Amino acid sequence: MGGVSGFTDRHYFLLAVIFYGVATLYAVFLWRRGFRQDNRIIYILLLAGAGLHTLAMIKRGFSFQRCPVTNLYEATTFIAWTVVASYLVFGLVRRFRFLGAFAAPLLLGLGVFALMPELDKHGPQPQFRPPASSLHAAFVLLAYGAFGLAGVAALMFVKQERDLKYNKTRAALAFLPSLQRLETVMMRLLQVGFGLLTLGLLLGSGWLKQEKGVFFQPDAKIVWSLAVWLMYLILLVARGWFRQGGRRFAWAAMGTFAFVMLTFWGFNLLSDIHHP
């Protein structure tokens, strides 16, 4: 792959995180201004970050001849990449462009976390064997990316809903999507994420059967993944069947994703399969 001589994929990722950091600072400014007018700067900053981020992932993938989803560093960068790539698609719609202001802090947080040296200490050595497991990991991480963006949309919903109730002028002049549209986006992202997670877990189970002769093993990460799957299932059922929408649904989408992010690395380390 091309690029600056001597720059590793981590250098490119570091540059991407710097762009996410600048976008976060700019997001504070936009937040204080009340999102009053269409603004492309946040989109451009995240586009630049996403470009470098993609370059870092491609560089690593080509260097090691595998999908870069085999350790915590790679898993975290993959989730962040899914979030930013999905945002760039949504951001093409003007009223969704400010979703970037809500996504930037998440991307910065994920980026800084991924850059912790401990997460990538095994370097290029895969922690589990490709390619079936890579596909499993890719689907699962794409799912977490979709859940992440749903959490970001949920944060935007909560802010918009609060402003509509208590900060009425700010809400009326803000250039943000309607509550119902945000809720639809949240729901669609959760549905897509849930589908991907289901597919990823099925692939993982198939791989386990192939390698160890069983579909299920009481491994910490597997149990945790099933718990996450169940939590999202409950969330979708509650919304679809019991019409538990609005603020509670948004808080639940944010809370569930926060739980995933806060416990993902811990359960990964506890897992014998995922962290041999």
Partner 1 sequence: MSVVVVGLSHRTAPVEVRERLAFADADIPPALASLRASGLVAEAVILSTCNRVELYAATDQDPAAALAGLRRFLLDSRRCGAPLTTELYSLCEPHSLEHLFRVVSGLDSMVLGETEIAGQAKKAYDLALRARATGRRLNRAFQRAFNVAKQIRTETNIQRGSVSVASVAVDLAGRIFETLERSTVMILGAGDTGEKAAKALLSRGARGLVVTNRSFERAAALAAELGGRAVPFDDWSAEFAQVDILISSTAAPGYVLDRARLEPLLPLRRGQPVLLIDLAVPRDIDPAVNLLEGVFLYDIDDLQSIADDALRQRQEEIARCEQIIRERVRGLLELPPAPQRESTLSATPSARRTAAC
Binder to partner 1 among 8, 31, 131, 180 (CB under 8 A)?
Answer: 180
Interaction between residue 212 and partner 1 (CB under 8 A): no
Q: Which of 62, 112, 248, 272 binds partner 1 (CB under 8 A)?
A: 248
209 binds partner 1 per the rule CB under 8 A = no
Of 33, 129, 162, 168, the one binding partner 1 by CB under 8 A: 168
Angle of helix 72-90 versus helix 246-270 axis, rounded to 10: 160
Structural contact between residues 31 and 100, judged by C-beta atoms closer than 8 angstroms: no
Question: How is 48-62 classified by DSSP, letter by letter?
Answer: HHHHHHHHHHHHHHH
- Say if residues 14 and 153 touch (Cβ distance below 8 Å): no
* Near partner 1 by CB under 8 A: residue from 33, 36, 162, 188: 36
Tell the smallest beta-carbon distance from residue 187 to partner 1 (Å). Answer: 12
Asked if the bond preceding 124 is cis, omega within 30° of 0, the reply is no
Q: Which stretch binds partner 1 (CB under 8 A): 18-26, 70-78, 213-221, 239-247?
A: 239-247
Residue 186: count of CB within 10 angstroms of its CB: 26
Among residues 164, 227, 231, 269, the one that binds partner 1 under rule CB under 8 A: 164
CA 157 to CA 96: how far, in whole Å? Answer: 12
State the number of binding residues for partner 1 (CB under 8 A). 23
Q: Which has the closest alpha carbon to 106: 150, 70, 69, 141?
A: 150
CB nearer to partner 1: pick between 63 and 180: 180
169 lines the binding site for partner 1 (CB under 8 A): yes
Q: How far apart are CA 141 and CA 42, in angstroms?
A: 25
Binding site for partner 1 (CB under 8 A): 36-37, 160, 164-165, 168-169, 171-174, 176, 178-181, 184, 243-248
